[in-house]
A and B are shown apart, each in its own frame.
Chain A
Amino acid sequence: MSSAGALALPSTSWRTRSALPGFGLSLGFTIFYLSTVVLIPLAALIIRPWELGLSGFVAEVTAPRVLAALKLSFGAAAVGAVLNTVFGLIVAWVLVRYRFPGKRLVDALVDLPFALPTAVAGIALSALYAPNGWLGAPLMWLGVKAAYTPLGVVIALTFIGLPFVVRTLQPVLNDLSRDHEEAAATLGASRLQTFRRVVFPALLPALITGSALAFARAVGEYGSVIFIAGNLPLRSEIAPLLIIIKLEEFDYAGAASVGVVMLGVSFLILLILNGLQALMAKRR
């Protein structure tokens, strides 16, 4: 903009010059806001546990109650993600490939877990699966106790994760050209063979992404779980609840330790899945 700039030699600056205004202001505000709201607070989380020292940190996160809570949060999230992978694939397939009355309504309903506040979902699921609830009573009759057990945790985490798988698959399924399926048919493949050998491999990366997103969300989920979980220490107590309990005991370092482990393991899993995906994408 200034005439001096026009005379300057071509620089190896970290940014390309542009005729548009507002770069400094917009990027400056972005970085300032990002730092205050997200980065500095997260730094506080990562630094806090180390006031216990390494051995203190390890002792903290390997305490039986903490281990049990972490196991439940990650285990139930994994089971929920697997359920969502199977049923999410079916739901996405039906919504993309078939026509039936009320399809748009069903399609809109898939987003409910995104839109419904978690506390509302939590008390609804809890009432539904309580021993005297609409679904809890028949389940009790079958000898299955859902509410206030790990099974209840799985149910809540399945609810929360469904849209991730469906919404990740839908666009991919939509873009999948019919040519490939037609080619398979002209080559003599049955529908099942076509699905297994042609369609499924093409969907696999999106399926893994969707499951990973559902899993990541489920690991940290709190609101929809605590009402139905019963929160018995060592049995149905999830890791996020343990953080709150430790905070109430003013054990900041302990709470931060659990938080750091949750974050770390989540990132590790996402990193592995990303790597897996990159590996698959290489072939395309």
Chain B
Amino acid sequence: MTDATMTEFALPRPRAATADHPVARALLTATAMFFIALFLLLPLITVFAQALKNGVSTALAAIVEPDALSAVKMTLIAAGIAVPLNVVFGLAASWAISKFDFRGKSFLITLIDLPFSVSPVISGLVYVLLFGMMGWFGPWLREHDIKIIFAIPGIVLATMFVTFPFVARELIPLMSDQGRDEEEAATSLGASGLQTFRRVTLPNIKWGLLYGVLLCNARAMGEFGAVSVVSGHIRGQTNTMPLHIEVLYNDYQFVAAFAVASLLALLALVTLTVKTFLEWHYADEIAAVHKH
């Protein structure tokens, strides 16, 4: 009757059945952008704007000042100990949980997630209750002249607690997804446990591991509440960067506070950039579901 070669009508393109009305779409987009600008972008801009209020040199001076440098050092020490320990733990826990079947597994996973649902202040408090002057081990520690609270070990412990689940929680679903076929194959081919782990497991999880380390490190360097409880706020000695910011801010040294804060904000931006990069390029090699 008719043929393809006959006149083609240029049809107007109606809205797809599942597309929103243009007005609704515009309104929703505007609302979302406004909310994000107000709650996320503006605070971020504020940090840099306040830091540079009196020029770059003032800001720089606040960063290279001895107390600030000592705070940077303190932060690096805390993260430098807490992150590797949590990586080892994360690898061990995910190996045990994903490659073996045993009773109580899901309970163990719940326990590993526990620190996420605990207030940072409580995370610090628990160590004061153990090692503080009036804590369970307080008298014994004092007799032996060991300082944990108001000293570096306390800060490291508190940081370990709050960053405890990050690596494990990234690796457990990832390694469970990958199953154990490849490891079993390697074992049957005569590989030792360490060889299997290094040559089969690790290459499969490297991006997920990096992702976990990234998030763990960001939290370790930025932790405030937990560290605040155990540090004692001794300037130039037990202040980490976030604590130094608090001291400066409460001293009305706003520009200096924001200058140090902008260092941490830069760290956050780098973290977000790397994180986004990993999510774009290695989505399949990072665990499928991300709930922080």
In the complex, which residues of chain A have a beta carbon less than 8 angstroms from the beta carbon of B93? 26, 30, 34
In the complex, which residues of chain B have a beta carbon less than 8 angstroms from the beta carbon of A244? 121, 228-229
Docked-complex contact B225 and A118, CB < 8 angstroms: yes
In the complex, which residues of chain B have a beta carbon less than 8 angstroms from the beta carbon of A108? 272-273, 275-276
Docked-complex contact B18 and A181, CB < 8 angstroms: yes
Docked-complex contact B35 and A134, CB < 8 angstroms: no
- Give chain B interface residues in 31-60, CB to chain A under 8 Å: 31-33, 35-36, 38-44, 46-47, 50
Assuming the contacts A22-B197, A117-B242, A223-B120, asked whether A191 and B249 have C-beta atoms less than 8 A apart, the reply is no
| Stretch of A2-10, A53-61, A254-262 that contacts chain B | A254-262
Assuming the contacts A93-B28, A110-B40, asked whether A220 and B122 have C-beta atoms less than 8 A apart, the reply is yes
In the complex, which residues of chain A have a beta carbon less than 8 angstroms from the beta carbon of B129? 41, 44-45, 48, 252, 256
Docked-complex contact A128 and B89, CB < 8 angstroms: no
Give which listed residue, A116, A128, A185, contacts B222 with CB less than 8 A: A116
Q: Chain B's nearest CB lies how many Å from the CB of A107? A: 8
Q: Chain B's nearest CB lies how many Å from the CB of A54? A: 19
| Stretch of B3-11, B62-70, B98-106 that contacts chain A | B98-106
Shortest Cβ distance from A41 into B: residue: B126
Docked-complex contact A127 and B254, CB < 8 angstroms: yes
- Residue A135 at the chain B interface, CB threshold 8 Å: yes
Assuming the contacts A117-B224, A222-B119, asked whether A128 and B43 have C-beta atoms less than 8 A apart, the reply is yes
Assuming the contacts A34-B111, A44-B126, asked whether A98 and B29 have C-beta atoms less than 8 A apart, the reply is yes
Docked-complex contact B187 and A222, CB < 8 angstroms: no
Docked-complex contact B95 and A120, CB < 8 angstroms: no
- Residue B96 at the chain A interface, CB threshold 8 Å: yes
In the complex, which residues of chain B have a beta carbon less than 8 angstroms from the beta carbon of A39? 111
- Residue B83 at the chain A interface, CB threshold 8 Å: no
Shortest Cβ distance from A246 into B: residue: B125
Assuming the contacts A20-B187, A120-B261, A123-B245, asked whether A186 and B126 have C-beta atoms less than 8 A apart, the reply is no
- Residue A267 at the chain B interface, CB threshold 8 Å: yes
Docked-complex contact B187 and A19, CB < 8 angstroms: yes
**Cα distance, A123 to B46, chains bound together (Å):** 9
- Residue A200 at the chain B interface, CB threshold 8 Å: no
Residues of B at the A interface (CB closer than 8 Å) are 17-18, 20-21, 24-25, 28-29, 31-33, 35-36, 38-44, 46-47, 50, 85, 88-89, 91-93, 95-97, 99-104, 108, 111-112, 114-115, 117-122, 125-130, 132-136, 157, 160-161, 164, 180, 183-184, 187-188, 192-193, 196-197, 215, 218, 221-225, 228-229, 241-243, 245-246, 249, 254, 257-258, 261, 264-265, 268-269, 271-273, 275-276, 289-292
In the complex, which residues of chain B have a beta carbon less than 8 angstroms from the beta carbon of A262? 119, 122
Docked-complex contact B40 and A162, CB < 8 angstroms: yes
Shortest Cβ distance from A100 into B: residue: B29
In the complex, which residues of chain B have a beta carbon less than 8 angstroms from the beta carbon of A153? none
**Cα distance, A213 to B92, chains bound together (Å):** 27
A-B interface contact total, Cβ < 8 Å: 305
- Residue A284 at the chain B interface, CB threshold 8 Å: no
In the complex, which residues of chain B have a beta carbon less than 8 angstroms from the beta carbon of A16? 100-102
Docked-complex contact A164 and B183, CB < 8 angstroms: no
Docked-complex contact B108 and A222, CB < 8 angstroms: no
Docked-complex contact B122 and A26, CB < 8 angstroms: no
Give which listed residue, B31, B36, B289, contacts A171 with CB less than 8 A: B289
Residues of A at the B interface (CB closer than 8 Å) are 14-16, 18-23, 25-27, 29-31, 33-34, 37-42, 44-45, 48, 87, 90-91, 93-95, 97-98, 100, 104, 106-128, 134-135, 158-159, 162-164, 167-168, 171, 178, 181-182, 185-186, 191, 194, 213, 216, 219-223, 227, 240-241, 243-244, 247, 250, 252, 255-256, 259, 262-263, 266-267, 270
**28 contacts across the A-B interface (CB closer than 8 A):** A15-B101, A18-B100, A19-B184, A20-B196, A21-B192, A22-B193, A29-B92, A30-B89, A40-B130, A41-B127, A44-B135, A98-B28, A109-B40, A111-B275, A112-B272, A116-B43, A117-B221, A119-B224, A123-B249, A134-B46, A158-B39, A182-B18, A216-B117, A220-B120, A243-B125, A244-B229, A252-B135, A263-B122
In the complex, which residues of chain A have a beta carbon less than 8 angstroms from the beta carbon of B42? 128, 134-135
Shortest Cβ distance from B44 into A: residue: A112
Q: Chain B's nearest CB lies how many Å from the CB of A260? A: 9
Shortest Cβ distance from B138 into A: residue: A252
**Cα distance, A223 to B257, chains bound together (Å):** 14
**Cα distance, A134 to B41, chains bound together (Å):** 13
Assuming the contacts A123-B245, A223-B225, asked whether A98 and B25 have C-beta atoms less than 8 A apart, the reply is yes
**Cα distance, A37 to B226, chains bound together (Å):** 13
Docked-complex contact A19 and B188, CB < 8 angstroms: yes
Docked-complex contact B229 and A14, CB < 8 angstroms: no
Docked-complex contact A120 and B108, CB < 8 angstroms: no
